[in-house]
Amino acid sequence: MRYFSPLAMLLFFTLSISTVVSTGYSQDFEQQRKDLLSKIHEIDKKLGDSPSPQEYDDLSQQRKEIEAQIKDVTEKLEADVDAMKKINAVKKAYNEGNAAYKFGDYQGAISHYDRAISLDVSFYKAHYGKGLALKKLRKFQEAIIAHQGASKHNPAYVAAYIAEGKILKQIGKNDEALKVLTTAIENNPGSERPYYELGAIYLDYKKDYNKAAANFSKATQLKSDYDLAFYSLGVSLTELARHDEALIALDTALKVTTKKKWYRPHHRKAVIYNKQSAFKSAKTAADEALKLKANFAPAAYEAGKACKELELFDQAVAYFEICKKDRSWKKMGEYEIDLIVNREKYAR
């Protein structure tokens, strides 16, 4: 009987992958290949022990079947290696895009992101990165298209909807921004960020404080330490004259925040206390804001109002002097000081 060495018979089916980083799949394939080679080795030992003709035929048939399995596994391994090479090329281009973006080379970043997209059009993060770079170059329509590409290839990628919504808001297309953010919620009902962004549009642009409060409240339900959502909820509730609820929201914002010098919630509390004629509390809250940001005119104004109501006129003037240092509050500060200094004139 003619006998072929195992090395000669398996050489065609063996693949060297020593220089390629294996994926989880390729590791599985490689293990399968090793197990099959071990079976071939056992069969070859039996073939070398002068088996009977029937045994020889059976062993040879088994060997052919295992060789076919080895060929199939090897082809899968080759395909996986090719896929890994492509993945590495995509990641390399994407990372180069991120590096260029970080250093302010936005046009260069776009080129790298485009290369990643050309290798894998479904790589949504490259579309997203391209959108961010285009926005930096103020190419807003192109940026919107890029972010739409990201959400198209991954409808669960909330960041793409948020970025698109922000651009639309920036260029004054608030209704379109609302639609985009609503779509984000439909595709990601458990994400808090779209609710917050919706609330911000209703609060700042639509002046629909009920809808603003409803969206901020939903955001806080989904993320119990969402400090910005609690703060914005407090602002919205203040506009609705739901002052006690607003104070609770603002206190919660201060409780859950990690910000070390967050003065705005204190200022907003001062606004509410002045509306409630709780002037001592208003002054205390305003002073807390001023401790965190000296010369913060809005807080100084609330402190001045409280002091004026408490007939602490010298302190009130001092606070309004702080207002005068801010160009936006200068006239208001001057007016309030005039009211105090010339009380007799205005009392007529």
Q: Per-domain residue ranges for the chain?
A: 1-98, 279-348
Domain 279-348: CATH architecture, name and number where available: Alpha Horseshoe (1.25)
Q: What is the pLDDT of residue 175?
A: 97
Tokens of 24: 């989880």
**What digits encode the pLDDT tens for the residues 123-149?**
999 999 999 999 999 999 999 999 999
- 276, pLDDT greater than 90: yes
**Confidence tier at 83 by pLDDT (50, 70, 90):** low
Q: What is the pLDDT of residue 176?
A: 98
Q: What is the pLDDT of residue 21?
A: 40
CB atoms within 10 A of CB 186: 10
Least confident of 68-82, 140-154, 299-313: 68-82
Phi, psi of 233 (to 5 degrees): -60, -45
**What digits encode the pLDDT tens for the residues 228-241?**
999 999 999 999 99
Rounded to whole angstroms, the Cα distance separating 55 from 137 reads 76
Q: What is the pLDDT of residue 25?
A: 53
**Confidence tier at 27 by pLDDT (50, 70, 90):** low
174 close to 201: Cβ distance less than 8 angstroms: yes
Nearest Cα neighbor of 265 from 304, 239, 235, 224 is 235
- 20, pLDDT greater than 60: no
**Confidence tier at 291 by pLDDT (50, 70, 90):** very high
Q: CA–CA distance from 77 to each of 15, 117, 180 (Å)?
A: 8, 25, 42
What type of residue sits at position 41? H
**What digits encode the pLDDT tens for the residues 98-123?**
999 999 999 999 999 999 999 999 99
Q: What is the pLDDT of residue 16?
A: 37
**What digits encode the pLDDT tens for the residues 164-210?**
999 999 999 999 999 999 999 999 999 999 999 999 999 999 999 99
The region, left, alpha or beta by phi > 0 then psi within -120 to 50, assigned to residue 138 is left
Q: What is the pLDDT of residue 60?
A: 84
Percent of the chain with pLDDT over 90: 72
123 close to 113: Cβ distance less than 8 angstroms: no
- If you average pLDDT over every residue of the chain, what do you get? 89
Q: What is the pLDDT of residue 297?
A: 98
